[in-house]
Chain A
Amino acid sequence: MLILSSRAQLWHPRTHVNYELKDDVAVVRLNDPTSKVNTLSKQMEAEITQVMNEVWGNAQVKSAVVISTKPGCFVAGADINMIKACKSAEEVTSLSQEGQKMFEKIEKSPIPVVAAINGSCLGGGLELAIACQYRLATKSKKTVLGTPEVLLGLLPGAGGTQRLPKMVGLPTAFDMMLTGRNIRADKAKKMGLLHQIIDPLGPGLKSPEERTMEYLEEVAVGVAKDLAAKKVTVDKKKGLIQKLQDVVMGFPFVRKQIYNTVTKKVMKQTKGLYPAPLKIIECVQSGVEKGSSTGYQVESENFGKLGMTAESRALIGLYQGQVACKKNNFGTPERELKTLAILGAGLMGAGIAQVTVDKGVATILKDTTLEGLARGQQQVYKGLNDKVKKRGITSFERDATLSFLTGQLDYSGFQKADMVIEAVFEDLAIKHQVLKEVEAVTPAHCIFASNTSALPIRDIAAVSKRPEKVIGMHYFSPVDKMQLLEIITTDKTSKDTTASAVALGLRQGKIIIVVGDGPGFYTTRCLAPMLAEAVRLLQEGVGPKMLDSLTTSIGFPVGMATLADEVGIDVAAHVAEDLGKAFGQRFGGGNVELLKTMVQKGFKGRKSGKGCFLYGAKSKDKQVNPGAEEILKTFKLTAPPAVSGNEDVQYRLICRFVNEAVLCLQEGILPDPIQGDIGAVFGLGFPPCFGGPFRFVDTFGADRLLQKMKRYEEFYGNHFTPCQLLQDHARDPSKRFHK
C-alpha cells in the first residue's frame, strides 16, 4: 500500500513545470499549456515548489536553471483571476505569503539557481527571477522586466518590495515599483537587475526563435556549472556611482529624506486617489529600516489590503478590458491591407501616418498644399527621430521606415489603395467632396474611413456609391501617444469593412472600441455634456484654475479648462453646437456663445497661444488669459449655492458624463459596458481609479448617483435627468454593469 501511494505521487502528472538533468544541472522548464503566457497560478506555484524540492533532494544536482519554454514569455506575472477570486483581505494576504515562502526557499537554495529569461518577465515573474542567484536574459525586443503591479493597484507581493531595493538601490527600486514601467534587457543589466545578456540569434539550422531559446539554455547551463564550480561569482561589479550611492544610502537621514520626497511626489501625482504607491513605500521602508521579517509581514498585509480596494478592482477591470479590446471580433479581413492613403497631413493625418509606416504598410499622405504636406512629413520624421534619440530604433531603421511614406498633393497611386482615411476639415460638404473624389480613383474594394470626431458617418456615407465600404475611424490626438481608436459602423457598413478597420487599428497598436453611429458616437457624445457643464461652471464664477484643480483632484489626468484648450475652443464650440442641435436641451448648460466669442477673439486654445490660459511663456505657473476672464464676466450667471460646493461641482461634471455614457449603452451605440469604460478612460481620461463610467456606477451605487442627479435636476432641469437604464439599475441593486 505504501509503495503504491508513493508511486502514485511519483507519477502524478505535472502539466506546467518539469525538469531535465543536463550533466549535473537541473533545467527547470515552465510552460502553462492552457495559455499563451506563463502566469504564477496556483498550479504553477505548486509545481515549481514540487519540482524544486525534487531538485534539492537530488544529490546529483549541483546547480539549476529556471527557464520558460514559451517563446516571448518567461513569466508574465501572477494570475490576476486568482486575486480576483479572493473574498477577503486575509485570503489575498495568504496568497502573498505563499509566494514569499516559495521565493525565499529559492533565494536560500543550497545550490545556485540561474534564471534564464527570454520575453516578458513581469510582476511575479520578476520576483521569481530576483529570488534566483543569477539572472541572464536575451536582448530580444520581447524581453522586458518590470513590476507593473502598481498599475493594477497592487504591489509586488512575493518579496519584491524587499529584494529590489537591495538589488538596484532605493531610488531605482522606487522608480521601478511606483511607475511599473517596462525595462529592456540592456537597461536592466546596467541597473544591476541582470548579470548577463545574450543577443538573439538569426537563422541557423532551426528557426531563430527556437535556436535562441536553446542557446539561452546552453549559456545558462554553462553559467550554472561555473557557479557550482565557483569559477563565476554572483556579485556584480559596481561602478563608482553605485558604490557612492551605497555609502550615501547608509545614512538613515538620507533614506528618510528619500521616503519623504518619494511620498510627496506620489501625493502630487496621484492626489491621494491611489493607495498602492503609498503602501509600496511603506513596505520598502519597513523592510529597510526594521529588517526583512517585518518587511515581509508588512508586504503581505498591505498586499491583502490592496487586493480588496475598489481602486485595484477598477484598474484590474481596465487591464482586462484593454486585453479584450485588443482582439478582432469581426474575423479575418478578406484582403490584407498593403496600401493606406491618408487625406490631410495635419496633426491627425500625420499622426495616423506615423503609427502606420512603422508597421511596414505603404502609406500615402496627401494634402492640398505644399506647406501643409511638409509640416506633416516633418511630424512623422520627428516622431521617428525621437525614437532614434532614445535609442529605441537605429537611424537606419528610421530611414527604412520612412521609405514606406509617400507625400503628395494629387491622387496618383490611389488606384492601389486598400483603404483611405480622411482627416480633412470637419465640414460635411468638404467630406462629401473628398469622398466622391476618392471613390472616383480608388478600386472597388477600397475602404473609405473618416476620422471625424462628431459628424455622423451615415451622413458622410450618404453620397457614397459603396456605403458598405464606409466606416468611421476616430483617432485621438496625439495619435502616437493616445492608445484608443473608436471605430464607428453604420447600418450599411459591411462586416468585412469593420474587420479590416479593426485589423489596421490593431496593427497600429491601438486599443479598439467599435460603436454604433450617431452624432458624436460614444466618446465625443459623453464629453460634450460634461464640457457644457464646465462652461456653465465657468459662467457661474469657478475660475479656470479652480476648475482644473477640481477635476484633476478627482482623477482626471488633465484639468477640464486645460482640456478645452488642448482640444481647441473652436473645436469645442463646433461640437457643442452640432451636438446641441442633435440632442437638444439635454446638452445645454453652458452658453455656446461664450465659446464662440472666445473663438472670435482668437482664443482658440493652445494652438493659438491663448485660450482659457496663456501659452508661449515658459513659466511653470500657467497664467489665466485676462481676455478670457473679460468674456467670462459678460456671460456671468449666479451659482445656486445649494449645489455649488466643491464636491457638488465635481459630481455635476461626473454625473453628466456618466449619464450620457449609460444612455449610449441604452440606445445601443455602445455594444457593452467594457468598451464604454475603456473608451472613456483611454480616450477621454475619465479617472482610471473609477475604472470607467460603468464601473463607477457599480461601485458608487446607481441609487446614490440617482439621488444626486435628482437634486441637481431641481436646479438645472433635464441636463440631469437620469436615463432609463440608470433608473433601472437604481431600482434593482442586483443589476450591475460588471459581474
Chain B
Amino acid sequence: VKHTHTYTQTNIYIHTQSGIQWAHFSPVFQNRFKSPLRIKKTLSKTGVKNIVLVDGVRTPFLQSGTTYADLMPHDLARTALQGLLNRTGIPKDAVDYIIYGTVIQEVKTSNVAREAALGAGFSDRIPAHTVTMACISSNQAMTTAVGMIAAGQCDAVVAGGVEFMSDVPIRHSRKMRKTMLSLNKAKTLGARLALLGSIRPAHLAPELPAVAEFSTEETMGHSADRLAAAFGVSRREQDEYALRSHSLAKRAQDEGLLSDVVGFKVPGKDIVSKDNGIRPSSMEQMAKLKPAFVKPHGTVTAANSSYLTDGASAVLIMSEEKALALGYKPKAYLRDFVYVSQDPKDQLLLGPSYATPKVLERSGLKLADIDVFEFHEAFAGQILSNLKAMDSDWFAKTYMGRTSKVGSPPLDKFNLWGGSLSLGHPFGATGCRLVTTVAHRLKKEGGQYGLVAACAAGGQGHAMVIEAYPQ
C-alpha cells in the first residue's frame, strides 16, 4: 500500500487527468507564453555554426494496411520530398545532400533516400544515403545533416524518414534459400532434381521480419509491459495517458495545428490529407481490452500502445547564413543533441530518461527552461515509466551515475498536439515529426526552448534541444 501512495504523490498530475483538461486549456497559459519576461539567452556558441530548420513536412500517417497499402516505401518518401519542395520552394539543385532514415528496409530500394530523391525530381547530381537506428532513424538522418553542415561540407541538406508497414519483406526459410542458391550452381539436370527432391515441408515455412529484439529475443511490447510493472505504472494510468494523447491529437487536428501534414493523392484512390489513427475513446471502452503481450496479468494493450503505421517525413536543414542568403525565415535553431544507449533487456525503452539530463547539461539548461516537450510515445507505459525515472533521485544515482534527478517534464508542456500513440508511429519517420512539431509549437505558444526525446530498439535513445528562431 505504501509504495502506490508515493507514486501518486510524485505524479499527481497524471492521475488527475490534467492532460485531458488541457484539451480545453485556459488562455492564462497562452498569455504566459507571450509574456516578454520569458525571453532567455540564445544557445548560440562562438565558433559553432548556427544550423536552422527551414521547414518540415510529412505525409498523413495512416494505419498500415489502409489507403497506402499498395504503395512502396519510396513512394511515401517521394511524396514527403515533393511536399517539402512545394512548401519551401527551394530550387531542385540547391540541396547538397539527402539523407533518409528507415527501419524495415524494402530490399529493392535499400537506399530508399536515393530512389525517393530521384522520383521526387531532385537533381540526379545530389548524393543520397539511408541510415537506420530503429525508432530514432530520422533523428539520426537530421543529426547527420547537422554534422555535415557543421563540418563545412554542406550548406543545405534534406533529412527525412519513412516507414511502410503495409508490406514487409517476408523471406523463404534459410534452408529453402540455401537450396535455391545451390540450384543456381547445379550444373546437371540430375543435380538440380536432387536438390529439388531435398525440399521438405520445413523448407516452406516463411520467415517474418522479427518484431523481437535480436539480442534478447523479447518483443518490445513485452519489454514495455515489464517496464511499466517495474515502475509501478498501473493499467488505469496508461489508459488515461493514451486517452489524453488521442484527445489532444484530435483537438490539434480539428484546430488545424498539424500544419506539417501535406496532402497525398494516392494513385487510384482519393487524396489523403489527415492522419487516420486518431481515435479518442472512453476509459470504459479501453478498460475492456485484454493485455496484448504479457498474459493474463499484463497492462499494455492495443489501446495504450502505438500502432503499425505507414508514413514519411522530411525537413530542410541549412546553415543560418545559407538560409538567410536564400531569403528564408527559418523556423528554429537545431542545437545540442545526444545519443545514449543502455541495457536492451531491462532498460530498452528508457532512452529519454538518460538522454534528457545529458542534453540539458550540454546546453547549460534546466528542465524548467524548456517550454515545449515532444517525446516519442512508443507505449503509454513507456512514457509514464520515463517520467517516473526522471523524477527519481534513486534511479538517477543508482543507474545513471548522476547526483540527483533531472525532474519530470510538466504535462502542461508535454506532447500537447498528440503523440505517436495517437498520430501514429512510422518508425523511420517519427523523429522529423517531433522536431517540426517542436518548431511549430514554439512559434504558436511563444516559447523559446524545446526538447525532443525518443527511445529506440536496441536500448538506445536520443534527445535534442531546439531554440525558437527570433520572430
Contact = CB atoms under 8 A, between A and B. Distances in A.
Interface of A: 22, 196, 198-199, 201-208, 211, 214-215, 219, 222-223, 394, 396
A204 B231 contact: yes
Contact of A208 (B1, B3, B232, B346): B346
A205 B393 CA distance: 9
Contacts of B105: none
B188 interface: no
A199 B297 contact: no
Given A199-B226, A394-B216, A396-B214, A205 B392 contact: yes
Interface string B213-232: 01111000010001101111
Contacts of B343: 202
Given A196-B296, A211-B230, A215-B229, A202 B217 contact: no
Contact of B232 (A205, A207, A396): A205
B347 A203 contact: yes
A396 B459 CA distance: 15
Given A205-B388, A205-B389, 5 more contacts: A22-B1, A201-B226, A201-B346, A205-B7, A208-B230
A531 to B, nearest CB: 48
B216 A396 contact: yes
List 7 A-B pairs, minimum CB-CB distance, nearest first. Answer: A202-B346, A204-B230, A201-B230, A204-B231, A396-B215, A219-B297, A215-B229
Contacts of A396: 214-217
B471 interface: no
A695 B296 CA distance: 52
Interface string B199-223: 0000000000000001111000010
Interface in B355-411: 385, 388-389, 392, 394-395, 398-399
18 contacts: A198-B297, A202-B347, A203-B230, A204-B388, A204-B389, A205-B7, A205-B230, A205-B231, A205-B232, A205-B392, A211-B230, A214-B3, A215-B229, A219-B297, A222-B297, A394-B216, A396-B215, A396-B216
Chain B CB within 10 Å — which of A22, A198, A199 has the most?
A199
Nearest to A223: B297
B340 interface: no
Contacts of A214: 3
Contacts of B395: 203-205
Contacts of A201: 226, 229-230, 346
Contacts of A207: 398
Contacts of A219: 297
Majority SS of interface residues in chain A? mixed
B263 to A, nearest CB: 44
Given A196-B296, A203-B346, A204-B385, A394 B217 contact: yes
Contacts of A394: 215-217
A222 B294 CA distance: 15
Chain B CB within 10 Å — which of A205, A215, A219, A394 has the most?
A205
B251 interface: no
Contacts of A211: 229-230, 232
A65 to B, nearest CB: 14
Contacts of B214: 396
Contacts, number: 64
Contacts of A196: 296-297
B297 A202 contact: no
A53 B227 CA distance: 38
Nearest to B214: A396
A202 B216 contact: no
Contacts of B222: 199
Given A214-B3, A396-B214, A396-B216, A205 B296 contact: no
A394 B388 CA distance: 31
Interface string B287-325: 000000010110000000000000000000000000000
Given A208-B346, A396-B215, A202 B227 contact: yes
B345 interface: yes
Given A214-B3, A219-B297, A202 B398 contact: no
Contacts of B294: 199
A249 to B, nearest CB: 29
Contacts of B385: 204
A327 B460 CA distance: 40
B324 to A, nearest CB: 47
A215 B234 CA distance: 12
Contacts of A199: 222, 226, 294
A522 B232 CA distance: 56
A219 B296 CA distance: 10
A201 B341 CA distance: 19
Nearest to A202: B346
Nearest to A212: B230
A201 B299 CA distance: 14
A202 B388 contact: no
A409 B92 CA distance: 59
A201 B229 CA distance: 7
Interface in B224-251: 226-227, 229-232
A279 to B, nearest CB: 40
Interface in B2-56: 3, 7
Nearest to B296: A196
Contacts of B394: 205-206
A196 B216 CA distance: 22
Chain A CB within 10 Å — which of B294, B296, B399 has the most?
B296
Contacts of A223: 297
Contacts of A215: 229-230
A22 B2 CA distance: 12
Contacts of B227: 202, 204
Given A208-B346, A214-B3, A202 B230 contact: yes
B221 to A, nearest CB: 12
Contacts of A222: 297
Contacts of B232: 204-205, 211
Contacts of B216: 394, 396
Nearest to B218: A199
A196 B291 CA distance: 15
Nearest to A204: B230
A206 to B, nearest CB: 8
A225 to B, nearest CB: 12
A437 B343 CA distance: 41
B215 A202 contact: no
A19 B91 CA distance: 76
Contacts of B230: 201-205, 208, 211, 215
A211 B4 CA distance: 12
A207 B297 CA distance: 21
Contacts of A208: 230, 346
Contacts of B399: 203
Contacts of A203: 230, 346-347, 395, 398-399
Chain B CB within 10 Å — which of A204, A215, A219, A396 has the most?
A204
B376 to A, nearest CB: 20
A390 to B, nearest CB: 15
Contacts of A22: 1
Chain B CB within 10 Å — which of A22, A196, A206 has the most?
A206
Nearest to B1: A22
A503 to B, nearest CB: 27
A204 B392 CA distance: 9
A578 to B, nearest CB: 50
B468 to A, nearest CB: 35
A629 B297 CA distance: 68
A202 B345 contact: yes
Contacts of B1: 22
Contacts of B231: 204-205
Contacts of A206: 3, 394
A205 B229 CA distance: 10
A207 B346 CA distance: 12
B300 to A, nearest CB: 12
Nearest to B350: A203
A204 B347 CA distance: 9
A396 B231 CA distance: 27
B329 to A, nearest CB: 45
